[in-house]
Amino acid sequence: MAFCIAVIGKDNAPLYLATSDLERELDLQYHVHAALDVVEEKCLIGKGAPESKELYLGLLYSTENHKIYGFVTNSRVKFIVVIDSSNIALRENEVRAIFRNLHMLYTDAVCNPFYIPGEQLTSKKFDKAIQKLMTGNA
Amino acid sequence: MSEEIVFDCLHAEIVNYCLDSSKDQHDLATLEYIGFTTGYRLIERLTRDVQRFKDELETMKFICTDFWTLIYKKQVDNLRTNNHGMYVVHDNAFRFLTRISPGIKQLEQAPKFVAFTCGLVRGALSNLGINSTVTAEVQTIPACRFHIEVNRN
């Protein structure tokens, strides 16, 4: 199944991208890239509206084969998760849980004194945990 | 209580270390920078379960209540703003100054103990997307006043 987790920085530069299917990595990257516009829109329109105050943005858009979910932290770092449409095991709650774990992992990675904020995330520990997160939901 | 003292001791050591290693006793830039990086990383963790901030004022309120409580175990006593990007934060019993006896001689040493916090606030705001300049003012120990000037451009 196709599954992709991406971390995008404040300035929309990719900080981290992991895919479970290497052959389709480029295709998945396009999806993530396209999702950024939707994220921006969602953050802008909902100004003041109560539902927009949540960090979790929900389903951004879906294509024939994929569903793309988004999450924005208070520091404007975006998390994008791409899921196979055929995968019905992953419901809203599971997706939320993925984002929660992802956020936790990210904050831990940022608190590493050797990590420079804004640079790519190359931490092995972070990578391992993300891989685990992906296979755990496969 | 015992775990609170650890942070006070660490802070005192950071101050000593920074000022000893630099030749100029009035060079607070290193100290401020340590505060900045700490604040920048820390805020990521502290805002994890917080809803998205609506505007600048809401962010400031978070800094004055939740952020301050977590670090200094109390809220600030007063927050004022002129609504043009200038904020003044009053703390009548600033944690790092409460153990210093009030006096003119001690007042000269006060900037050392507020520089870290200036950086901390600046770092936290910077990660939340607010570019600012933070300065502190101590008139009588242990009261302290922080001026936060938001740079909008």
Look at residues A122, A95, A91, A90 and name the one whose alpha carbon lies nearest to residue A109. Answer: A122
Predicted confidence (pLDDT) at residue B49 exceeds the cutoff of 70: yes
Name the pLDDT band for A51 (thresholds 50, 70, 90). low
Q: Could you report the per-residue pLDDT of A75-134, keeping only the tens digit for each?
A: 888 899 888 887 777 778 888 888 888 999 999 998 888 888 888 888 889 888 888 888
In angstroms, the separation between the Cα of residue B55 and the nearest Cα of chain A is 9
pLDDT value at position A46?
Answer: 53
**How confident is residue B122, by pLDDT bands cut at 50, 70 and 90?**
very high
What mean pLDDT do residues B19-29 have? 75
Q: How far is CA B2 from CA B5, B6, B8, B73, B100, in A?
A: 5, 7, 10, 13, 19
A contact residues 42-81, partner B, Cβ 8 Å cutoff: 47-48, 52-55, 72-76
pLDDT for the residue numbered A48 = 52
Residue appearing with tokens 């003119």:
B104
Tell me whether residues A52 and B52 touch, CB distance under 8 A: yes
pLDDT above 90 (res B119) = yes
CA dihedral in degrees (B66, B73, B135, B113; nearest 10)? -150
To the nearest whole Å, the CA of B58 is away from the closest chain A CA by: 12
Q: State ipTM.
A: 0.80
Global pTM reads 0.86
Cβ B43–A72 below 8 Å, yes or no? no
CB contact under 8 A, A74 and B47: yes
Which sequence spans correspond to the domains of chain A?
Answer: 2-135
Q: Which of A74, A106, A110 sits opposite B52 (nearest CB)?
A: A74
Q: Is residue B117 very low, low, confident or very high in pLDDT (cuts 50, 70, 90)?
A: very high
Q: Quickly state the pLDDT bin for B133 (edges 50, 70, 90).
A: very high
For range B45-56, the mean pLDDT = 84
What is residue A49's predicted lDDT score, i.e. its pLDDT?
54
Average pLDDT, chain B: 87
Is the model's pLDDT at A44 over the cut of 80?
no
A111 vs B45, B51, B54: nearest CB: B45
Please report the domains of chain B, with CATH numbers, ordered by start residue. Answer: 1-150 (3.30.1380.20)
Q: Out of 3.30.450.70, 3.40.50.2300, 3.10.180.10, 3.20.20.70, which CATH number does the structure's domain A2-135 have?
A: 3.30.450.70
Structure tokens at A81: 């998760």
B41 touches chain A (CB under 8 A): yes
In this predicted structure, what is the pLDDT of residue B123? 93
